[in-house]
Amino acid sequence: MEYVILIFYFFALTVLFLFGIHGLFLLYYYHKTQKFSLPKYELPKELPRVTIQLPIFNELYVVERLIRHVCKIRYPKDKLEIQVLDDSTDETQEVAKKLVEEYRAEGFDIHYIHRDNREGFKAGALKNGLDIAKGEYIAIFDADFVPAEDFLEKTLPYFQDPQVGMVQTRWGHLNEDYSFLTKALALSLDGHFVIEQQARNRAGFFINFNGTAGIWRKETIIDAGNWQPDTLTEDLDLSYRAQLKGWKFVFLNDVVSPAELPADINALKTQQFRWTKGAVETAKKILPLVLKSKLNWKVKLEAIVHLTSNIVFPFILVVALLNIPLVVIKNTFDTFDVYYNAMSVFVLASISSFLFYLYSQKAIHIDWRNRILLFPVFLAGSMGLAINNTKAVIEALIGKKSGFTRTPKYRIVSNKDDWRFKKYVQRKISPTVLFELLIAIYYIIGIGISIYYVEIAAIPFQLLFLLGFGTVGYMSIKHALLVSK
């Protein structure tokens, strides 16, 4: 039995090590391309017609903010079309209709498009709007975003290159300082945008449209096969299909589109579940096309890593479950010293991850030294989400379909704002919470075992597992129950 445990543990660590070390690969390209500068383009004298699509579903608290900020975007009214793609089933409908009527009276070409069903979910709504869109270019904003007035002025010029099919801007955070949860999530997203998106784009690898805060050439969407609803990440799916067709993408790190971060752990878990499951579904769909393509081997290899990165979560769970038995085996048998010596190299993966997020914070924040102190909280949180996201991976691998569950938004901006008693708060406690709390208890026992055997080196990682699973489990119950006055 001890051999089986060692093999599974060593294999799981190897997978996590390879994905962790990949961060150094991206950092290499990030530094290598630091002097890279995008071509300078100006807005054409004859401005093109642009359609801005706003897909919404039950967004009572943020729909007004969204529409009002979109209508502040600087662009001639006769060249701008706005589509409010509303699949809502609640009071959001009336709020959105009233706003559309208000701005139509002011001369805006704005339309309220409501569907009685959510066929295809967000992908279906976008495709439905695209069929009647007047614009040559299609900008998309989710309900929690607050687009800048100069968004089109800064993104449209890059379409002067006829090969450019999509321009993506970096997400900002309206409520980053609201709680430890939002601070840790901001750290995670900054790493994705500042390092991953920027390094991949500059180095010539594939990047993804992030579902919002970007603008497409309409021709690109149609040429790539349009929006398709067979995965939960329709944005990642279309991104790869378009780039496989030869379209170029541009990522603008210096153009920021602020958005609201989930302030509720259960909302975050819903978002992470959808992103994780959708990414694995997309990998199953797209990887055969990538492998059959004529792309060079470096681009193919990076695409494989990009599309499969979410498979780390089952292996995090394997490591969590086997770490404590391994401590017992190490102190019971004397024949496995070579394995334990070899495992010490896996610490490099943690160092790689730390450097990855360190450089992302250093690139965009003056107070990066303070912000990177949250790295242990982020790391523990990633561990704590392992059960939630492992379930998503398994469902995707076995082909189990599920609906598009959108992330609730509550217009949480300042520390005085309170989401707890608002609509959309998830009251149901998932069965996964029980397993999260059981693993937390498991690690209380495990730390005691490590202290007994004087395995001091094992304790820091065990504390992270305890903190991660315990906090996620506890907050999941707390945030669900707080809604009852």
Tokens for 364, please give them. Answer: 């965009």
Contact criterion met (CB below 8 Å) for 238 and 227: yes
- Report DSSP letters for 371-424, one per residue: HGGGHHHHHHHHHHTHHHHHHHHHHHHTT------PPP-----STT---TTSTT
What letter represents residue 208's amino acid?
N
Helix (H, G, I), strand (E, B) or coil at 295: coil
Give 279's Cβ-side CA count (13 Å radius). Answer: 25
**Residue 331 one-letter amino acid:** N
Strands 109-114 and 248-259 turn out to be: unpaired
With a CB cutoff of 8 Å and minimum separation 6, the contacts of 359 are 27, 30, 194, 195
Helices 180-190, 375-384: crossing angle, 10 deg rounding:
90
Cβ contact 366:250 at 8 Å: no
Which one of the listed residues 86, 87, 142, 144 is annotated catalytic?
Answer: 87
Instruction: For residue 251, give both structure tokens.
Output: 């990522």
Report which DSSP code applies to 227.
-
Q: CB count, 10 Å around CB of 407?
A: 20
Among the listed residues 132, 148, 125, 135, the one whose alpha carbon sits nearest the alpha carbon of residue 55:
125
Contact 114, 129 (CB under 8 A): no
The catalytic position among 86, 142, 144, 235 is 235
Helices (H), 33-163: 63-70, 92-105, 121-130, 151-155
**Cα–Cα distance for residue pair 121/405, rounded to 1 Å:** 9
131 tagged catalytic: no
Classify strands 137-140 and 214-217 as parallel, antiparallel or unpaired.
antiparallel
H or E stretch at 243: helix 234-244
* CA dist., res. 64 & res. 86, Å (int): 13
**Whether residue 150 lies in the annotated active site:** no
| Residues designated catalytic | 87, 235
